Amino acid sequence: MIKTYILAIWDSIHSALVGMKITIEHLFYKNVTHQYPNVDARVSSGTAAMPSYARNRIDFIPEACTACNLCEKACPVNCIEIESIKVVEGDTDQPMMKNGKPRKQWISKYNIDFTKCCYCGLCVNACTFDALKMTDFFEYATYDRKDLYYHLSEMTPEMVNNKKQMLENNTLKIKAEKAQLAHDTSI
């Protein structure tokens, strides 16, 4: 009877010691927890950059964009909005592409709603012109959802109105020229 009693006590102590063994061992292991945000994990782990496959905030490079809309179509949650305006022939402000060729479209709107974005990366993959890339930047939490709606076009509202007006004037001019030509040939 006493023997069983003592064995039961020993069993309890033994099982507690086995459990504590792991805990005690870990007291001597090197820390792997990063005290984020006080310590930047990239710095404390000795890596300056995020891994190449990391998905963070997306960057838009307007001078590479052709307004093909492929990224907008590829986005599964419809969080990209694009609008463009055709560059009118003779526009002295005509923007240039990254490759040095004149751009054919003004990118009047390029918005990404990061409250919806699921960081799938499909838009980046769809862009064959390297106008979208994943950045290293992941610390952009905000207190206001509106701040996560990114307006990435470089055009001001005045510029957009101006270029729309130019295009409209040009369209009217072409129509008038065509009408005049048709009139002249019918005489």
> Which residues on adjacent β-strands are paired with residue 80?
112
Q: Return phi, psi of residue 14, to 5°.
A: -60, -45
Measuring CA to CA, which residue among 50, 110, 45 is closest to residue 80? 110
Count Cβ atoms below 10 Å from residue 10 Cβ, excluding itself. Answer: 10
CB of 129 to ligand SF4, least distance (A): 4
Q: Which residue number, 68 or 167, has a Cβ lying nearer to ligand SF4?
A: 68
Locate 23 and state its tokens.
């805990």
Q: Which residue number, 34 or 57, has a Cβ lying nearer to ligand SF4?
A: 57
Q: In sequence order, what are the residues at sequence separation of 6 or more whose Cβ sits closer than 8 angstroms to the Cβ of residue 57?
A: 114, 134, 135, 137, 138, 140
Q: Return phi, psi of residue 58, to 5°.
A: -85, 145
CB of 90 to ligand SF4, least distance (A): 24
CA-CA distance, 1 to 132, in Å (whole number)?
77
Q: Which residue number, 85 or 132, has a Cβ lying nearer to ligand SF4?
A: 132
Residues written for the chain: 187
Residues that bind ligand SF4 (CB under 6 A): 65-71, 74-75, 77, 79-80, 82, 112, 117-123, 126-127, 129, 131-132
CB of 60 to ligand SF4, least distance (A): 6
CB of 107 to ligand SF4, least distance (A): 7
Q: Which residue number, 12 or 78, has a Cβ lying nearer to ligand SF4?
A: 78
> Which residues on adjacent β-strands are paired with residue 84?
107
Q: Which residue number, 64 or 88, has a Cβ lying nearer to ligand SF4?
A: 64
CB of 73 to ligand SF4, least distance (A): 9
Locate 69 and state its tokens.
């809309």
